């Protein structure tokens, strides 16, 4: 159990519906994150996992209607004014997106982009920010921070760009970091390095983590608790070992089987989600 004082985020019965749609895109989602806790949200494309992140960050378009509650350190976020939300974002809650090329400004040198996050929230003058930016870039495993800081995003590799984003997200030591598919666009070798850096960065900053992905193997490496989202609903949640060793929902069992390629004999047919839906339906009959 999380003590009240240790609770950072409490989402209760959150529903989101877009204008013109007949069904809720999120349906009564509940999720808690304690201080320093690492929680995974796993689901497929279209399940509502990215929408959950955008709702927490207050980044939904005007045609989305929210019901329920998102409490951040005891304070209600739904209905918060934009100005107050901006102060929260980047300082208390920050986010790393999947596509580092679109998340970075292509016309600005990366060092300045990192410095801007720092200045916006700490009001540090430009000259003062530089040493801190270089230190932060080194912290996320960039071996030549001077050069990277003076480069434009297109001059960097995908892995370097994602490190820059992680540096930006952690530079203000946020209470919560939300990562939405942070390594999906990367090679496995680069992914392994970025995940390691993310872990050590979180350790240093003491931040809690909401890690969103379709890849259960990756999620299982990063978090202590897992929530499974399917068609806008959380169908299962618990500690990593509860969810992965003893899944209750057929969808969870299917996700586990498809994520565990190493357990399938080479050349054998790979298990697919449909197998588990069918098995569940047969069991009920």
Q: Which residues bind another protein (CB under 8 A)?
A: 44-46, 157-158, 187-192, 195, 214-218, 220-221, 240-241, 244-245, 254-256, 258-262, 264, 266-267, 269-273
Cβ proximity to another protein, 124 vs 190, nearer residue: 190
Tokens of residue 41, six digits: 């949200």
The distance of closest approach from Cβ of residue 147 to another protein in the complex, given in angstroms and rounded to an integer, is 15
Q: Which is nearer to another protein, 6 or 150 (CB)?
A: 150
Residue 183 Cβ vs another protein, minimum distance, rounded to whole Å: 9
Give dist(CA 96, CA 103) in Å, integer. Answer: 8
Q: Which is nearer to another protein, 94 or 258 (CB)?
A: 258
Q: How far is the CB of 241 from another protein (least distance, A)?
A: 6
Within 13 Å and on the Cβ side, how many CA atoms surround 219?
29
Using the minimum distance from each CB to another protein, give the nearer residue, 91 or 224: 224
**Phi and psi at residue 228, in whole multiples of 5°?**
-105, 125
Q: Which is nearer to another protein, 68 or 271 (CB)?
A: 271
CB of 281 to another protein, least distance (A): 18
Measured from the CB atom, the residue of 19 and 188 that comes closer to another protein is 188
C-beta of residue 23 within 8 angstroms of C-beta of residue 17: yes
Cα torsion angle, 111, 116, 117, 118, sign: positive
Tokens matching residue 91: 């300082």
Residue 35: CB minimum distance to another protein, A? 23
Q: And the tokens for 145? A: 């921070």
Q: Strand runs (DSSP E) across the chain, as ranges?
A: 7-18, 26-34, 38-42, 64-72, 75-76, 93-96, 176-180, 208-213, 225-230, 233-239
- Beta bridge partners, 227, equal 41, 237
- As measured in angstroms, the least distance from the Cβ of 12 to another protein is 28
Describe the crossing of helices 126-139 and 110-122 by its angle, rounded to 10 degrees: 110
Q: How far apart are CB 128 and another protein at their closest, in Å?
A: 34
Q: Which is nearer to another protein, 89 or 240 (CB)?
A: 240
Contacts of 124 (CB under 8 A, 6+ apart): 118, 132
């Amino acid at each position: 159990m999380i003590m009240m004082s240790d609770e950072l985020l409490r989402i209760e019965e959150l529903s989101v519906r877009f204008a013109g749609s007949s069904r809720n895109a999120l349906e009564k989602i509940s999720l808690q994150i304690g201080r320093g806790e690492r929680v995974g949200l796993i689901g497929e494309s279209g399940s509502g996992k990215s929408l959950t992140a955008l709702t927490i960050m207050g980044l939904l378009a005007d045609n989305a209607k929210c019901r329920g509650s998102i409490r951040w350190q005891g304070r209600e976020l739904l209905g918060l004014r934009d100005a107050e939300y901006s102060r929260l974002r980047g300082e208390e809650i920050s986010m790393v997106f999947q596509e580092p090329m679109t998340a970075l400004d292509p016309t600005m040198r990366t060092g300045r982009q990192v410095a801007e996050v720092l200045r916006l929230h700490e009001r540090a003058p430009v000259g003062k920010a530089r040493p801190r930016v270089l230190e932060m870039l080194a912290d996320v495993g960039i071996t030549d921070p001077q050069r990277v800081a003076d480069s434009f995003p297109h001059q960097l590799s995908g892995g370097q760009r994602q490190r820059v984003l992680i540096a930006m997200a952690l530079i203000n030591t946020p209470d919560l970091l939300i990562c939405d598919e942070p390594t999906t666009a990367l090679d496995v070798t680069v992914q392994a390095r970025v995940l390691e850096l993310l872990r050590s960065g979180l350790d240093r900053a003491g931040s809690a983590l909401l890690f969103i992905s379709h890849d259960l193997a990756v999620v299982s490496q990063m978090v202590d608790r897992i929530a499974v989202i399917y068609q806008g609903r959380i169908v299962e949640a618990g500690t990593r070992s509860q969810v992965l060793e003893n899944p209750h929902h057929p969808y969870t069992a299917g996700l586990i089987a498809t994520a565990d390629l190493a357990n399938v004999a080479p050349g054998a047919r790979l298990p697919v989600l449909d197998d588990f839906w069918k098995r569940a339906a047969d069991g009920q009959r």
